[in-house]
Structure 1
Amino acid sequence: MKIAILSPFFPYRGGIAQFSELLYRGLSGNNEVKAFSFTTLYPNFLFPGKSQYVPDNEYSDIESCRTLNSINPVSYIKTAKKINKYKPDILIISYWMSFMVPAYSSVCLMLNKQIKIVALVHNAIPHEKRVIDKPLTKLFFNRCDAFIVLSETVRKDVLSLCKGANIFLHPHPIYDNYGETIEKERACDKLGIRSDKKNLLFFGLIREYKGLDLLIEAMDHLDDSFQLIISGESYGDFEKYKKLIEKSRLKDNIKVFEQYIPDNMVATFFSAADALVLPYRSATQSGVTAIAIQMELPIIATNVGELGNSVKDAQIGVVAPTATNTDIAEAVLEFFSDEKKISIYREKIKEEKKRLSWKSFIQFTESSLSRL
């Protein structure tokens, strides 16, 4: 097959760009693949983080055709022309938020009719909802011939917006590009934190729906044997989290790395932890879960969206019944109360690691695309 992928790619950072790069590499084994990316993803005044780009010392050998500006209609025409010139059988478009709909829908409208359009949907409905999200998303979905989704929750969301949609579902594959884990003591030494504590890791972009405030408050229900590691850049003001930490009874046990975590440091943070905590208020699937499975780190999660089900069904950790600080604290205590269960979680994660490989996902994707 001849496949085009329209998505953020290097030098953009974040889970969507990383996922797209791994998808490109996987599909390139048996197909001709070309990457199309953005000249402007978000205007700087709309971007809540510090930077949209990876550091200068990071590198990718994937060459993408950077033509699409999310807010420039002239670029929509240019992008469609370049894709049409490439003459792909299939165009895969990474979708995660309605802000991209004007650009994506316009490009789709100008494509040659024989090109099949497949939306790879990371989120159909944003965690932080707005009135315009559903109408805009519906507009784009109606331009698509098929959908690839990574969770049952997203499958249902797509169907709610596009009745009778042709949907292919495969669980989120694990990331395999972060290197190997190291000993806990060595990892903690690199981070300058104590290794004799029960280390809880919060990892990834800090946004309201991810419930970091609930986890900080949960620390007040734990004893001095616990340590919380916060690692990731805040999308928005971090000040409210600082105030919660200052008020916490265990403030000296809360270690903050509020920054972009480069790929070569990811394994260090996961190696320093005894459990990953996902105190989310809402969720579909989580890319951070996929990293934890790669690193063979058990998970403590809230029972929201597909998150709780994925942890319970795979038996890879403990699930808090609700997204409250008390339930999260109780789930943490339950997790550490039985060493035998922790060993079982680790063994089950190894099984998930095999099931959710990129090889499996690529085979599934190629099989799905061949049926269009």
Structure 2
Amino acid sequence: MSVLAWPATRTRNTNPYPFRVQDSTSAFGVSTSEFNLRNVLRVGWDVIHVHWPEVPLRIRYFPVRLIVCVGILVLLRCHKLIGRSKIVWTTHNLEPHERRVHWLTRWYFSRFLRMVDGTISLSEFGRDELFRRHPSLQEKASVVVRHGHYRGDYPTEVDRNAARKRLSLEDDDRVLLSLGMIRPYKNLPLLASLVHRIDHPKLKLVIAGPGKSPKDETILRDLAEQDHRIRLAIAFLPAQEVAEYFAACDLVVLPYSDILNSGSLLLALSMSRPALITDKGATPEIAGLVGHSWVQMYSGELTMEAIQRSLDAGRPEGRPDLSHFEWPLTGQLTSTFFRRLIGQPITADSEQAALESLPVEKLT
């Protein structure tokens, strides 16, 4: 079975998820290629697997944005009509994080949704929310395949004391970490403001990751200049540095104002660090599978009291159980879903077993 993935391996260094999906399905006879100019001009792909269809909407200049959006839709339509390809959307987000209230966004998404043949949701909540917002997709194939963990993508044997020394942190500091792209919905200025307002000399906050919001970056830099306890690393971080930041911290804090799924939460759990996160979106599902000592939740807006409770709870012993987020399971479920969608027989015993456990709806 041949799959054209958008993306496949291109984001491996910045977000390993698409590559891990490709790698996991290869064991089940799926050959995946990158969605690039050379491959997209070829027809005959069994499945076109789209992760983030909103990417063209991020283009700054409207004429270019319009041309790219139209081009993507025309190419997908040609693959459906000429190549008989099935289009599958993995619904990381149900709409762009940085929403553009513009006719092009509505027009582009409405036409993209009409072409989708099947959807992969990363949680039961995500699928329910997908159907609530886009009722037309209820009549199409769907499956839940949970977001895989990041164990193996980042070093895990990093010494805590050495990491703290490199980051100029004391052994008795209480270190909060928020790592990932800096975007408005992540509410990082609120977290920095809470730390800034409390008089606790040993409380330290580290915010690290690429900048995607100039406004939030300005606020964070101003607070960091006023308060030495707030440390910023606004840049792309190589895997070794990511591992050092996690090794040095006591608690990962993700103060999102809006969330469907969170790769940052899975990353924290993969690095065996407890996380404090809003109870919105798929978070309660993940907490139920992994344990509330590892995934600690708050309701409403983040408060310093919630942070203090999580710090006082301490770090659980051992490593969290991530058996529900293993990549071989992702490979089984995803490849089986693809095969059923294109009408290809399931012959391997392992894939048949996966099929019987699939929460698949309305497959034909």
TM-score range, shorter chain: 0.7 to 0.9
Q: Which amino acid aligns with 1:338?
A: A
Pairs aligned (count): 317
State yes or no: 1:95 paired with 2:95: no
Distance of 2:212 and 2:73 partners within structure 1: 27
Distance of 1:152 and 1:241 partners within structure 2: 35
Q: CA 1:311–1:222 in 2, change beyond 3 Å: closer, same or farther?
A: farther
State yes or no: 1:254 paired with 2:224: no
- Per the alignment, residue 239 of structure 1 pairs with 218
Q: Unpaired segments of 5 or more residues in structure 2?
A: 58-68, 342-364
| Partner SS, residue 95 of structure 1 | coil
* 2:202 pairs with one of 222, 225, 230: 225
Q: Which amino acid aligns with 1:291?
A: L
Query: How does the TM-score come out when normalised to structure 2?
Result: 0.79
Superposition deviation, residue 334 in structure 1: 0.6
| Partner SS, residue 252 of structure 1 | coil
Superposition deviation, residue 302 in structure 1: 2.0
| Counterpart contact for 2:88–2:118, Cα < 8 Å | yes
| Counterpart contact for 1:153–1:306, Cα < 8 Å | yes
Superposition deviation, residue 297 in structure 1: 0.7
Superposition deviation, residue 281 in structure 1: 1.0
| Counterpart contact for 1:193–1:255, Cα < 8 Å | no
Distance of 1:267 and 1:115 partners within structure 2: 40
TM alignment of 1:1-372, pairs within 5 A? 1-7=1-7, 9-10=9-10, 14-15=14-15, 18-37=16-35, 66-67=36-37, 80-82=40-42, 84=43, 87-97=44-54, 99=56, 101-111=69-79, 112-132=82-102, 133-159=105-131, 160-163=133-136, 164=138, 165-176=140-151, 177-219=153-195, 220-221=197-198, 223-237=200-214, 238-247=217-226, 251-307=227-283, 310-311=286-287, 314-315=291-292, 316-324=294-302, 327=303, 329-339=304-314, 342-343=315-316, 346=317, 350-351=320-321, 353-372=322-341
| Counterpart contact for 1:209–1:280, Cα < 8 Å | yes
Q: Which amino acid aligns with 1:141?
A: L
Q: Which stretch shifts more, 138-147 or 90-99?
A: 90-99
Superposition deviation, residue 216 in structure 1: 0.5
Cα deviation, 1:229-284, whole Å, max 9, x if unaligned, reads: 1111211322221123344xxx1211211111112321111111111110111111
Cα deviation, 1:165-212, whole Å, max 9, x if unaligned, reads: 322112211123112232211111232332321111010111111111
Superposition deviation, residue 98 in structure 1: 6.1
| Partner SS, residue 115 of structure 2 | coil
Q: Unpaired segments of 5 or more residues in structure 1?
A: 38-65, 68-77
Say what the alpha-carbon RMSD is for the aligned residues.
2.4
Superposition deviation, residue 96 in structure 1: 5.0
Distance of 2:279 and 2:190 partners within structure 1: 14
Distance of 1:300 and 1:178 partners within structure 2: 21
Q: CA 1:157–1:317 in 2, change beyond 3 Å: closer, same or farther?
A: closer
| Counterpart contact for 2:25–2:335, Cα < 8 Å | yes
| Partner SS, residue 158 of structure 2 | coil
| Counterpart contact for 1:298–1:317, Cα < 8 Å | yes
Q: Which amino acid aligns with 1:19?
A: Y
Cα deviation, 1:324-370, whole Å, max 9, x if unaligned, reads: 4xx2x11111112234xx32xx55x521x222111111111122222
Superposition deviation, residue 6 in structure 1: 2.6
Query: How does the TM-score come out when normalised to structure 1?
Result: 0.78
- Aligned-pair identity in percent equals 21
Cα deviation, 1:130-181, whole Å, max 9, x if unaligned, reads: 3344442221121011011213443234322252232211221112311223
| Counterpart contact for 2:185–2:256, Cα < 8 Å | yes
| Counterpart contact for 1:303–1:323, Cα < 8 Å | no
Q: CA 1:103–1:357 in 2, change beyond 3 Å: closer, same or farther?
A: farther
Superposition deviation, residue 309 in structure 1: 5.0
| Counterpart contact for 2:148–2:330, Cα < 8 Å | yes
Q: Which amino acid aligns with 2:325?
A: L
Q: CA 1:312–1:217 in 2, change beyond 3 Å: closer, same or farther?
A: farther
| Counterpart contact for 1:210–1:279, Cα < 8 Å | yes
Distance of 2:33 and 2:232 partners within structure 1: 36
Higher relative contact order (CA 8 A, sep 6+): 2
